[in-house]
């Protein structure tokens, strides 16, 4: 039953918009959920690597703020998701990540080790504070430097100087997106409007007016509260409310290639190559592999308020070429890739937008892209703009935004 008279619009049916809509519907609100694409949760939240960050990668943030934020998000990821969908974490997790220190890394193993230890120590503190475990499975985390004689078992020592074996995991994002989509469609209080692009939001007395275009027709609706969770559309819509980002920003387009063949745990190591513009492999066992090589897969860069429509700009041939070139570079470093047997039909060479504050790339020591803690909710009366920051933070932020709308925080 609808308990609350507030009319709430959520702009963008991605991960954040979907989780927030489900949370608010459970709390008795009626939601209009706007989505410009023909289906919900098919953008960044669908194509991403699914890594539930424990802060290891953010060693360049000397204030430790990003790692702290990620660990808190990671502790809430599965337990908050369980508020909206049934999920067995064992069925979606990858194999654990190896952190492979690549030649030319911005930090060496001796410099990385104290940061990893700090993550382990903060995890203990946060775990006992929040009384939650990582992915609802693990009560402690770890990053152990392997003897150099073991490097060859995982990676090519010509490129990889050291390896830390960690207890960080990814979750398979497509499976989770499909569960959330089913929940959205089943929930009566959520009015999902696909093919509906939001053009602007403006104040109208105490209300907010949302102007959109649906199937070529212009529509106007009034709401008591509006949440902008459009990620690639965030700044363009914020701007219509007179809101600008805290400082310079960038949108990047990054390929997150999938090879959709079932794998055994020992067929491909999950690896993150640090620290700089390198890449990742992820073994999702029965659900296939993910791989990205940054120097080839980061194809787009924009500092405009709305980035180009990159999803529609590449031909299939161009996409497969990005995949093939990335695969070649990665297999030089992670030789197990050469043993996978698959055809091009098994490859899903998709990409997605990454919005972040900062406008110099990750090969720069000083780049703001090494820090991601200035993310989350910015509220301007009854208009709320959410920079999700990372997939890791989605379920945690969704509950926080719902609390904000109810005046709880």
Ligand X SMILES: Cc1cc2nc3c(=O)[nH]c(=O)nc-3n(C[C@H](O)[C@H](O)[C@H](O)COP(=O)(O)OP(=O)(O)OC[C@H]3O[C@@H](n4cnc5c(N)ncnc54)[C@H](O)[C@@H]3O)c2cc1C
Residues that bind ligand X (CB under 6 A): 11-17, 34-37, 43-45, 47-51, 53, 197-198, 229-233, 237, 254, 256, 352, 354, 388-392, 394
117 closest CA partner among 164, 79, 154: 164
9 closest CA partner among 165, 275, 222: 222
236 closest CA partner among 246, 226, 244: 244
289 closest CA partner among 349, 239, 333: 349
At its nearest, how many Å lie between ligand X and the CB of residue 151?
Answer: 24
At its nearest, how many Å lie between ligand X and the CB of residue 329?
Answer: 16
Give the 3-state secondary structure of residue 254. strand
At its nearest, how many Å lie between ligand X and the CB of residue 157?
Answer: 26
At its nearest, how many Å lie between ligand X and the CB of residue 232?
Answer: 5
At its nearest, how many Å lie between ligand X and the CB of residue 390?
Answer: 3
- By beta-carbon proximity to ligand X, the closer residue of 17 and 276 is 17
Q: What angle do CA 18, 396, 53 make, to 5 degrees?
A: 105
Do residues 210 and 201 touch, judged by C-beta distance below 8 A?
A: yes
- By beta-carbon proximity to ligand X, the closer residue of 12 and 89 is 12
At its nearest, how many Å lie between ligand X and the CB of residue 73?
Answer: 8
Give the 3-state secondary structure of residue 29. coil
The residues, any chain, with a CB within 8 Å of residue 18's CB and separated by 6 or more, are 33, 40, 41, 45, 180, 181, 183, 184
- By beta-carbon proximity to ligand X, the closer residue of 37 and 82 is 37
- By beta-carbon proximity to ligand X, the closer residue of 73 and 151 is 73
DSSP 90: H
At its nearest, how many Å lie between ligand X and the CB of residue 108?
Answer: 24
- By beta-carbon proximity to ligand X, the closer residue of 33 and 151 is 33
HEC string of 348-383 equals ECCEEEEEEECCCCCCCCCCHHHCCCCCEEEEECCE
* Closest residue by beta carbon to ligand X: 14
Do residues 227 and 384 touch, judged by C-beta distance below 8 A?
A: yes
- By beta-carbon proximity to ligand X, the closer residue of 258 and 333 is 258
- By beta-carbon proximity to ligand X, the closer residue of 13 and 106 is 13
């Amino acid at each position: 039953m609808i308990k609350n008279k507030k009319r709430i619009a959520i702009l963008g049916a991605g991960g954040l918009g979907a989780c927030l809509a489900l949370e608010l519907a459970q709390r008795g609100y009626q939601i209009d959920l706007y989505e410009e694409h023909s289906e919900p949760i098919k953008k960044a939240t669908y194509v991403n690597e699914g890594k539930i960050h424990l802060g290891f990668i953010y060693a360049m943030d000397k204030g430790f703020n990003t790692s702290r934020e990620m660990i808190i998000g990671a502790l809430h990821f599965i337990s908050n998701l369980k508020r909206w969908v049934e999920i067995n974490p064992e069925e979606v997790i990858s194999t654990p990540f190896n952190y492979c220190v690549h030649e030319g890394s911005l930090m060496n193993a001796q410099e990385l080790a104290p940061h990893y230890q700090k993550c382990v120590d903060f995890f203990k503190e946060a775990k006992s504070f929040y009384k939650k475990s990582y992915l609802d499975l693990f009560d402690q985390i770890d990053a152990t430097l392997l003897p150099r004689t073991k490097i060859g078992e995982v990676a090519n020592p010509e490129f990889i100087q050291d390896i830390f074996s960690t207890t960080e995991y990814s979750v398979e994002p497509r499976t989770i997106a499909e569960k959330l989509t089913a929940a959205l469609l089943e929930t009566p209080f959520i009015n999902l409007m696909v093919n509906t692009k939001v053009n602007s939001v403006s104040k109208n007395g105490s209300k907010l007016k949302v102007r959109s275009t649906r199937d070529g027709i212009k529509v106007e609706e009034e709401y008591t509260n509006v949440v902008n969770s459009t990620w690639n559309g965030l700044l363009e819509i914020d701007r219509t409310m007179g809101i600008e980002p805290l400082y310079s920003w960038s949108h990047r387009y990054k390929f997150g290639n999938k090879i959709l063949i079932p794998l055994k745990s020992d067929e491909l190591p999950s690896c993150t190559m640090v620290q700089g513009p390198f890449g990742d492999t992820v073994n999702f066992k029965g659900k296939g592999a993910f791989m990205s090589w940054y120097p080839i897969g980061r194809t787009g860069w924009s500092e405009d308020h709305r980035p180009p429509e990159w999803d529609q700009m590449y031909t299939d041939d161009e996409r497969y070429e990005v995949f093939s070139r990335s695969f070649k570079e990665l297999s030089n470093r992670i030789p197990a890739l050469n043993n996978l047997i698959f055809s091009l039909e098994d490859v899903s060479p998709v990409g997605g937008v990454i919005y972040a504050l900062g406008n110099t790339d990750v090969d720069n020591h000083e780049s703001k892209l090494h820090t991601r803690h200035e993310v989350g909710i910015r509220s301007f009366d009854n208009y709320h703009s959410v920079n999700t920051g990372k997939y890791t933070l989605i379920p945690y932020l969704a509950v926080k935004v719902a609390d904000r709308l109810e005046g709880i925080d």
